[in-house]
Structures are given as C-alpha cells and as structure tokens.
Amino acid sequence: MTTLITGATGNLGRLVIRSLLERGAAPESIIAGARDVSKASDLGVRAVRVDYADPASLTAALDGVDSILLISGSEVGRRAAQHQAVIDAARAAGVTKFVYTSAPKATTSDLVLAPEHKATEEAIAAAGLPSVILRNNWYTENYAADLARGAETGVLAAGAGDGRVASASRSDFAEAAAVVLLEDGHIGQVYELGGDVAWNYDDLAAAIGEVTGREVAYRRLTADEQLVALQSAGLDDGTAGFVVALDAGIASGALAETDGTLSRLIGRPTTPLIEGLRAVA
C-alpha cells in the first residue's frame, strides 16, 4: 500500500508523516507531495513534486499510489479548483482510498470557510472515489498570535461572543489521519473531529494567562469594533472582513461540537487547551 500525502511540507503534513512512521508504516510506502521538494529532505520518505496548477505533476505523483491524503489548500478562494485537480487525477489513477481534511459540518455550516470544503466534498462524491472525510475543527496552534498579544497586552480581543471551540492540537488531527490511512474499515465515513472539551474565549484568556504568567482578560468586540481594530492594525479590508466573519461563525456555535470521535480514533484523550498553548509558547 503506497500513500501520497499532499502538502507534506506544511505543519499538518509533516505531523501526518511522523504519525504514519510511528504507527509502523514503512518509509518506502509513504510519498511526500510538495510544490518544492527540497523542503521535504528531512521527512525521511521519498518526495515528489505536486503542483495543483500542473496536472502533469499530479499524474506523475499518483502513479502507483493506492491511497492519498488531500490536505486542504491554504489559498482561500482558489481551493475548490485546486482540490478538483487532485480529485480528477486520483480518479484517473484508480486510488482505493481518498482521505480529505475538511471543515466542521462543511455541507451545512454557515462558517465562512465552509463553501470551498462543501464543494470539495461534493466533487469527491461525484467522482465516485472511495473516500474518508475528516472534518477537522480548529487547531489550538491557530491561537499563537493571540497568545503573543495576550502576553504583551493582557487582553484577548475578539468578536467570538460566548461561542465555544472544540480545538485540539495539530498532532491530534495528524494522528487521526494516519489511523484512517493505515486501517481498513473507514471508507465511506465522514468524521466530525474535535477536541474533548469545547471552551469559550473566557477559558482561552485564562489559559493564556496561565501560560504567560500574567492576567489576561477577554474583551468582547462587536463586528464593527473588530473590523475597525483589524483595519487599524494594518489588515486590508478583505482580510479584516474575513476574520470578522470567522469570529461571527464561532459566536454562532460553528465550532462547538465535540462528541469524542477524535479521541476514539487516536485511542487517547485529545491534547487539552493549556497543554497545546504551552507547546506553542
């Protein structure tokens, strides 16, 4: 069984490869797909060029591949087309397991990130690929900047209201991906993956305070207040509006679900918020 990991040099991709190796996968059974293969030299597995804009690179990368992990791209607004290119190539190659990292409740969520994931899930289904969908909640590492600002200012300012987030560490989600890639019995499943505990931003502020050693307070912002603050900090209008929309989704409960699926898949509790933040610090 040969497995291709796309985005292998990114933060999640590296952890997936590490988890595969730790769970006994032979290095020669893993292929790291990267736009710049020189960045994959430390992964301990063979690397191939994968460029979503170059169909020939996808065809070559998938030659002889049985399973693939498509780690969702980072270019918001272009991801659906990029993912479609991988889906098309995987279908032509006859892969027997197609694993995709999606977003929570992607087909029904009003989260601003959901539409591209919804489109990708629909494209996977339309292609008839034997698939496993991993709907990953937020990575605790997403809060690295808030941790730094909290340490500096003692304030966590956000527009997330009282919304809760079932975050987990990237390593938790990476291990789940490794499990479904290595094990049989997951084809056809759509897994909603989140941390064992859904916390709110008061909890986040307290955790940041404990990690940084100073008191940190959560300051609730309205959408308008947050937009002005982000623009004043130098963000362009589009990026600022995107962040405001993300927080509005959190406030509405888009990231609050936690049912223990992630911890059951990996066979251990997920990493607690404070431990995840300490690792970031």
* pLDDT, tens digit (0-9, with 9 covering 90-100), for 13-63: 999 999 999 999 999 999 999 999 999 999 999 999 999 989 999 999 999
How does 156-181 read in b/e, with b if 16+ C-beta sit within 10 Å? Answer: bbbbbbebbbbbbbbbbbbbbbbbbb
CA dist., res. 171 & res. 82, Å (int): 25
CA dist., res. 119 & res. 46, Å (int): 31
Residue 78, pLDDT > 90, answer: no
Equal fold, 3-136 vs 137-169+194-259+271-281: no
- Give the start-to-end residue ranges of the domains of the chain: 3-136, 137-169+194-259+271-281
Fold type of domain 137-169+194-259+271-281: UDP-galactose 4-epimerase; domain 1 (3.90.25)
What whole-number percentage of the chain has pLDDT above 70? 100
Task: Work out the widest C-alpha separation in the chain, in whole angstroms.
Answer: 56
How high is the mean pLDDT of the chain? Answer: 96
Span 215-243, mean pLDDT? Answer: 95
Q: What does the pLDDT read at residue 1? A: 86
pLDDT in tens, 203-217: 999 999 999 999 999
CA dist., res. 58 & res. 242, Å (int): 31
Contact 159, 219 (CB under 8 A): no
Span 255-262, mean pLDDT? Answer: 96
- How many CA atoms lie within 13 Å of 268's alpha carbon, on the beta-carbon side? 11
Span 132-161, mean pLDDT? Answer: 97
Q: What does the pLDDT read at residue 265? A: 98
Task: Just give the CATH number of 3-136.
Answer: 3.40.50.720
Q: What does the pLDDT read at residue 125? A: 98
